[in-house]
Structures are given as structure tokens and as C-alpha cells.
A and B are shown apart, each in its own frame.
Chain A
Amino acid sequence: MAEVTPLIRDELLPPRGPGRRHLISIRDLTKDDVERLLALARTFSASLDREVKKLPALKGRTVVNMFFESSTRTSSSFELAAKRLSADVMSIKASGSAVDKGESLKDTALTIGAYDPDVIVLRHPHIGAPQVIADVTTAHVVNAGDGTHQHPTQALLDLYTIDEELGGIAGLHVAIVGDVLHSRVARSDIQALVLMGARVTVVGPPPLIPRGIEAMGCDVSYDIETIKDADVVYVLRMQKERMLEGANYVPSLREYTARWGVTPERLRPGQKVMHPGPMNRGVEIDPVVADAADALIERQVRSGLVVRMAVLYDLLTHGPVEVKVAEIEAVA
């Protein structure tokens, strides 16, 4: 056999971490992991204030975004995060791809996997899709939302936003209001907030509060007045597209809005309001609330960018081993 000379010597390649890690659920993370990611995001945030915003940290790495469900902020945020770190980015959407021709997720994953991407970011309408990608490729998998299961980077960016705005997370009271049943954001946020020591109350009509949700460490209330007690009111979107026809979760949007809509009258001054977007103004959130100074909705989007930079960087470096913040500063 002839000796093959590699085009790039191993020591010139970015370091490979021990084992392959994924971010599929907040449940996979420890408190230390979250603190490390938030610290890293703060570092990246500082870099965004510079005139040249690009860092060479992930140069030579490939990130593939596979979005099989509609998305504006998450897909753009991941794409920009990867680009800011100098990774090569490829984006695949369900429509216009072989998925339209009936290709299975497994086959699409095998196809993309053949390019040896370092990270695959997946948004998919069905629970369990990230596992399929993790099983058949060698990439690190980041779950960008799988059905009604998890959306871990949303929870991390929400933690980051709260931490920046209120100077900490532990001890705060967060009310999550609305369609909890169909919300992957609510599940990830409850786990993340409880992990970091916040108190969480979910509020909404009984059919939209999953039976047994208390086991996740939150309180349950059907009374919208309870949001007055919260430091942060987190409003969820009514996910009409996930509701089975004739299931009667709510008799009408009118009735829902009248009983559980977040309006100025139901808030007290100084309460912070968050929403993962997209909003149904006038349904779950009053436009006045959405546009008020205490609404952190655009802050959340900005946080998304640096948090996703942190997640990509963390997965592709030694991860749990301490992050070399100084080194990043240096290369920047």
C-alpha cells in the first residue's frame, strides 16, 4: 500500500474533542454546562461590538442547517452564528429538497453525512428526529426544535436574556403563559429555569396545560392573575397548526384572549415580558405589551445569535473542559 500524504497535517486541524456531543435536550445539560455556555456567549457578545464582527474560531469547520419546518429567527440566527465564527455553512430546507420527493430523514441525513459536516443543526416537525441524525451521521447534532419536544437553544437564549436584564436567574419567578401543551419552548424553558434555580409557574386553560407537568418542578395555575406575582412573564404562541381539528382545546380565540391574553391591565409596572416569536398580536399578547419598553422580545433575538455561537463553539472544542476565553480574544 502506498503511503498517503494528507493534504493537511493533523496538527493543523482544529482540535477534536473527546467523543461526540450533541445538544438535543436541556435535560442533557448540567448547571455547570449552562453557566459555561452563558459565559462564552457574553464573550462573543463583546466581540459583536467591534467593527469587524467575524472571528476565525471555527475556520475550516462545516455546519449544515437542516430546516424541515418553517423558521425565520432560528434558521437565520444559526446561519449567522456559524458565519460569525468563520465556519462554512450550508442550509437545506424541506421544500425544494429531496424531501419533496419523499426521501426519508434517514436518507437525507446519510446524504448530508457523506460530506462529513462537523455540526448538523436540525429543525423538524417530529419528536425523535435529532436521534435519527445522530444515529446515522458522525456530526454533532444541535436540536433547533423537534415537534413539541425540545428547543434547547431557545431556552439558553432566554436564560441569557434574563440574566443580562435582571442580573441573575436564581430566585426569580417566571410565569409561562399560554399553550404549554404544544410548546417545545415551554418544556425547554421550564427545565432550564428550574435547573438554574428560578421558580416557574405555568398559566393557561386546563386543556393546554399537560397533565403531570408539575413533575418538571413547576407550579400550575389556571388563573391569569397569578402572573402579577412574576418577575418575568413569558408568553407562548397559540400553536393553532399543532392542534387537532375538533379537539376543542379552546372554544374560541376570543374566549382565550379574554381569559388568558397578556394585556397591560394584567401586568404590573416593571415586569419583563418575553415571547419566543412569532407573535399573534391581539391573541396571546396585546400589541401594547409587545411594544412596551419592558418587552425583551428583540433582546431575545440578539441573545440568540451569541448563544448559538457559544453552542457551536462549545460543541466543536473541548466542551466541558474549560473554555479558553483568552484565546478567543487573541485570535479576534
Chain B
Amino acid sequence: MPTEQTLFGGNGRKDDLSYEGVRVLDPTEGIDETLDLTVEAGVITKIEPGLGGDGRIVAPAFVDPHVHLRTPGREDEEDIASGTKAAAAGGYCAILAMPNTEPAVDSAAVLGALVERAKDEAEIPVGFFAAISKGQDGAELTEMVELAERGAAGFTDDGRPVASPGLLRRALQYHAVTGRRIAVHCEEAALSRGGHVHEGLVSAELGFGGYPSVAESVMVGRDLMLAAYENQPIHVLHLSARESVDELRSARSAGVKASGEVTPHHLCLTDEAVRSLDPNVKMNPPLRAEEDRQALLDALKDGTIEAIATDHAPHARHEKDVPFEEAPFGVTGLETAFSVLYTRLVEPGTLSLAALIDRMSAGPARIYGLERPRIAVGAPANLVVLDLERTWRVEESGFRSRSPNSWLLGQTLKGKVVETVANGKLVHSA
């Protein structure tokens, strides 16, 4: 049987901490009141009625189920230390790293080496996805049982679709043994080929090769049908199109064990943003139309989409410092996710703070079977302290991440993560 442990590193020190008269908000535990919290040796030991309140909020820390740590192979863009420090600054107590590295995480040897590095270098606990196919080339299945035994947090060929329905079917069949979630990047390459931005009014006007919504939704539909047929759970990565949301919603209502995630940029931006021709709004899947953004928001609110994932994708400066059409896909997000979602969605009243916290914390933890960060006596301290009144300017010099490709550079955001406690250790204080 596979090991239970899928998060590694970030251990070590266990802190004693106390928070007096703070608003404690744990939507899943049903807590929203002013309390005194005590953490001893990294464990929550006391929760008592408190007085006053200085405006700070203590909530369960966040879990990011979709991060590119670029390790091994592109440590110039990100490594385990810098990526987990960035995550700590963003309020995360755990992150899951994607396997599209150089080499890909497709063998026990590569995974084992990462786990060892994480134990030394990770600021917060980190889990590693393993690839579905060797080299992520879509041909041969990886040794999924062994990878699960070595602690793979899930399986995905993210960055690429699993083109062959036969191969995905096999992976789903092995889920019955591994119990580790299969996560799919849904893209029909025959439809997205040559596409740089969403196929729509903006691409028609600007002349970009279009990446149509149907390139995503046709694969979401196919993959959900396979999961239904095999009666195994499946997770759909970075949803972007309203048709994909419809597919997920109807599959869930038909009883398919399907989950989905959405990124902060797909919740905040539309393809209108690409008129700037700023390579930092180029990502895969692309920013889509306002109707798509609204559908994603609705699905996030009603729980069809359970998780917010940054798809933090660091790129070296020189690789993004090129004409839009030449630039690689991907933007960073770990250090800005909470603040931008608070500023753009919670503050204007579009989304409740409780829902945001749930989708950034309990939601992703549930999908991947991770221990849910929670505020309860006896629970390990996985806490985030939020100052909702604090405004700050996103600047390259402030990033812990090694790569500056944020779409928010120069913008002022409201709401800041001022403290993060991950697995009992204070990992960030601002």
C-alpha cells in the first residue's frame, strides 16, 4: 500500500505563538468570532473568547495545488527554497509541485531526489506530482504504484494534455490501486495549435492565432466521460472556458467524482488584457471572454469549482522580455493570489471572504486528501494572519520568487498576508 505521506520538508522548528483579540475565521469549522489563540510547540492548544480586535484576521493557511517549482532543471527560474518562501509569503502552508521539469518527475529516482531536497530546502511542506506518462510524452504509463509508494501527491502530465484516451483510461484504472488523484490539463492540441490567445473578438482584431474554448471543453468532456466510465475520481486543472464549467457541473450532478480548479488570473482578467501585448498576460489556458470569467466565478461560488490554484509558472526574465508572440506561456502567482482576489472580488462584494478562504485552503486539501488546515484545539498550527486594511504595491524587488513574470507588477492591492504559520512554524512575518 502507498505511504500516507505526500508532503515533505518544512519541518523542524515548532513555535510558541499567541494571538489575542483577533477575528478568527474558519469557514469549514464554522468559526467567525473574536478569540484568543494559543499555539504551543506548533500545536493549537487554546482557543478562548477574546476581547477587542485589532483588525487582523486569523484563518486556516492556504494550500496551492498547482505550482511549478522548475526543479529539477530550471533552478534559475525557481527552486524549492525560493518557491516555498514565495508560498510562505503568500499565506500557504502547503503546495503541490507539477512534474513538467527537466527531467520530468516520471521515476522513483527523480521523485526520491526531490523528496530529499525538499527535506533540506523547503520552507513549507511541499508535495510532488508524478507524471502520468514517461517523459510526459503521452506514450507509456509511468510506474504509478511505485511512485505512489514513494509519496507522489497525485498524477498529471500538466503542461500537456494526455492526448490518448487509452492512456488516460489506464491511469484512471491504476487510481484504484494508488488512490492518488489524476489531474488533467485539458487541451486538444489539434484545435489549439498555433494559438497564443483566446479565439474571440480580440484575437480577430489583433491577428493572433486563436486558442479556442472548444480546445479545452472537448477534452474536459472526454476526460470526464472516461472518469465516469471507470468510476474513478478526476481533477480538472486550470479551467478557463464556460463550456468546460458546464461539463464539470453536469458530470458532478450525475455523480462523477470530479473536481476542478481555477486560477486568480482567470477570475480577474479577460482577453481584453492582451490588448496591452504584455507577455505577462500570456498563459495556457489563455484569458477568455467576460462570459467565461463570470461562469468561473459562479462555479467557484456554488462549489462546482472547489479550489483556487495559482498555476505559479516562473519564467526567466529574458524569456519573457520578447514580443508577445514569442513569449512562453505562464505567470507567477503565489505571492499575490490572496491580495488580488481580495481586492478584485471580495472587497467589491462579488465573493465572500469565507468562500475565498475555503477555496484556497479546505477545497484543495480535500481534493488531494491532505490534512485540512483548521483552527481547532489539538490541530497543527497552519495559520494565516491577514490585514485587510493594508495596501501594498506589487514590485519586483519584493518577490521571493526568482522570476518576476507577474501580471500585477506596479499595481496596488488591498489586503495582505502578514503572517504565515506552516506545520507549527512561523514561516513569514511582514
Contact = CB atoms under 8 A, between A and B. Distances in A.
Contacts of B109: none
B277 interface: yes
B331 to A, nearest CB: 16
B325 A147 contact: yes
A104 B318 contact: yes
A149 interface: yes
Nearest to A210: B204
A209 to B, nearest CB: 9
A131 interface: yes
B323 interface: yes
B116 to A, nearest CB: 37
B322 A215 contact: no
A89 interface: no
B335 interface: no
A150 interface: yes
Contact of B325 (A126, A187, A244): A126
B303 interface: no
Interface string B312-330: 0000001001111111000
A148 B207 contact: yes
Given A211-B199, A247-B194, A127 B204 contact: no
A128 B204 contact: no
Contacts of B326: 126, 128
Contacts of A184: 207
A101 to B, nearest CB: 15
Contacts of A127: 196, 206-208, 277, 323-325
B259 interface: no
Contacts of A129: 323, 325
B201 interface: yes
A92 interface: no
A212 interface: yes
B323 A126 contact: yes
Interface string B206-226: 111110100000000000000
A128 B207 contact: no
Contacts of B201: 212, 215
Interface string B40-72: 000000000000000000000000000000000
Contacts of B208: 127, 148-149
A110 to B, nearest CB: 11
Interface in A202-217: 210-213, 215-216
Nearest to A190: B205
B258 to A, nearest CB: 29
Given A124-B323, A127-B324, A244-B194, A150 B204 contact: no
B198 to A, nearest CB: 10
Interface in B169-225: 193-194, 196, 199-201, 203-210, 212
Contact of B321 (A106, A150, A212, A215): A106
In this complex, the interface size class of chain B, counting residues with CB under 8 Å from chain A, is 20 to 34
Contacts of A147: 207, 323, 325
Contacts of B323: 105, 124, 126-129, 131-132, 146-147
A215 B205 CA distance: 8
A187 B277 CA distance: 16
A216 to B, nearest CB: 6
A83 to B, nearest CB: 29
Nearest to B321: A106
Given A131-B277, A215-B201, A210 B322 contact: no
A278 B194 CA distance: 24
Contacts of A150: 207
Contacts of A128: 277, 279, 323-327
B322 A104 contact: yes
Nearest to B205: A216
A210 B210 contact: yes
A104 B279 CA distance: 15
B101 to A, nearest CB: 25
Nearest to B282: A128
Interface in A121-157: 124, 126-129, 131-132, 146-150
Interface in B303-347: 318, 321-327
B277 to A, nearest CB: 4
A187 B205 contact: yes
A90 to B, nearest CB: 22
A300 to B, nearest CB: 21
Given A127-B277, A128-B279, A212 B204 contact: yes
A212 B206 CA distance: 11
Nearest to A150: B207
Interface string A179-208: 000011001000000000000000000000
Contacts of B210: 210-211
A137 to B, nearest CB: 14
Interface in A71-85: none
Nearest to A136: B321
Interface in B204-257: 204-210, 212
Contacts of A216: 204-205
A127 B201 CA distance: 16
7 tightest A-B CB contacts, nearest first? A128-B324, A148-B207, A128-B323, A210-B204, A126-B325, A129-B323, A126-B323
Given A105-B323, A106-B322, A215-B201, 7 more contacts: A127-B196, A132-B321, A149-B206, A212-B199, A213-B205, A215-B205, A244-B193
Interface of B: 193-194, 196, 199-201, 203-210, 212, 277, 279, 318, 321-327
Interface of A: 104-106, 124, 126-129, 131-132, 146-150, 183-184, 187, 210-213, 215-216, 244, 247
19 contacts: A104-B321, A104-B322, A106-B321, A126-B326, A127-B208, A127-B324, A128-B277, A128-B324, A128-B326, A147-B325, A148-B209, A183-B207, A184-B207, A187-B207, A211-B200, A212-B204, A215-B204, A216-B204, A216-B205
